């Protein structure tokens, strides 16, 4: 039996997903009842391609600033270390999960 890792995406079989896509990566409920939904926003296929750092960094700044101007529920948006996309965390708001196909 394979041991489950603490990081959800480390348990994801990256050969079974096809980027680009958006998926609900997990939910966490706080002690006061708040619920944080974490989304995996994937632009590039894991282990096959990645976003170049200048583009990734530019998108990070654009989204981090501008998404907060339009939505108060955003807790965080940050790039993945593997440079294939971003994580978006929102509080007390469920976003419909959409699977994108190019």
**What are the domain boundaries of the chain?**
16-91
pLDDT tens track for 48-92: 999 999 999 999 998 888 887 888 888 899 999 899 999 999 999
Global pTM reads 0.81
The yes/no answer on whether domain 16-91 falls in CATH 3.30.1360.80 is yes
Confidence of residue 98 (pLDDT cuts 50, 70, 90): very low
State how far the alpha carbon of 99 is from the alpha carbons of 3, 8, 41, 75, 88, in Å: 28, 19, 10, 22, 15
């Amino acid at each position: 039996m394979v041991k489950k890792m603490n990081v959800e995406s480390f348990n994801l079989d990256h050969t079974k997903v096809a980027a680009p896509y958006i998926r609900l990566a997990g939910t966490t409920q706080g002690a006061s009842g708040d619920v944080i939904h974490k989304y995996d926003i994937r632009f590039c296929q894991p282990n096959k391609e990645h976003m170049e750092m200048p583009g990734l960094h530019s998108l990070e700044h654009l989204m981090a600033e501008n998404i907060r101007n339009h939505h108060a529920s955003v807790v965080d948006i940050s790039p993945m270390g593997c440079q294939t996309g971003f994580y978006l965390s929102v509080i007390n708001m469920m976003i419909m999960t959409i699977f994108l196909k190019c």
